[in-house]
Amino acid sequence: MSDQPKILYCRCAYAQVVPQGVKDEVLSRLCDSGASFESVADLCEMAAHRDPRLTALAQSGPLRIAACFPRVVKGLFQQAGSSLPEASTEILNMRTDSAETIASQLLRTP
């Protein structure tokens, strides 16, 4: 089993608080890289519906998440009934960082 963290990309489809250009560029770089990643339409919606996939993701091992503010992402997982492990989770903020920064952090080797 690889020690490479699982990558989770949030499209932020409903709240639309992440700049469209950043979301598109990060997604394009992920696709072009050939790396395995999971894309979800909206973590906020998943948390509102207490989607069991959030629990599965939180328990899946090391995780890198491209979404918005880390405190918000942590709160969404808690709302869905599952806390993210601090030591093995990295949350990258597409609201404040550039697409280049986000993509390079998502795709770096441990």
Residue 93 domain-assigned (yes or no):
yes
Report the C-alpha gap between 78 and 34 in whole angstroms. 31
How many separate domains does the chain show?
A: 1
DSSP 85-100: PGGGEEEEETTTS-HH
pLDDT in tens, the chain (110 residues): 457 899 999 999 987 889 999 999 999 999 999 999 999 999 999 999 999 999 999 999 999 999 999 999 999 999 989 999 999 999 999 999 999 999 999 999 87
Residue 75 domain-assigned (yes or no):
yes
The domain that contains 54 carries what CATH number?
3.40.50
Which range marks the domain in which residue 80 is found? 6-107
Report the C-alpha gap between 56 and 96 in whole angstroms. 27
CA angle 63, 1, 103 (to 5 degrees): 35
Residue 69 domain-assigned (yes or no):
yes
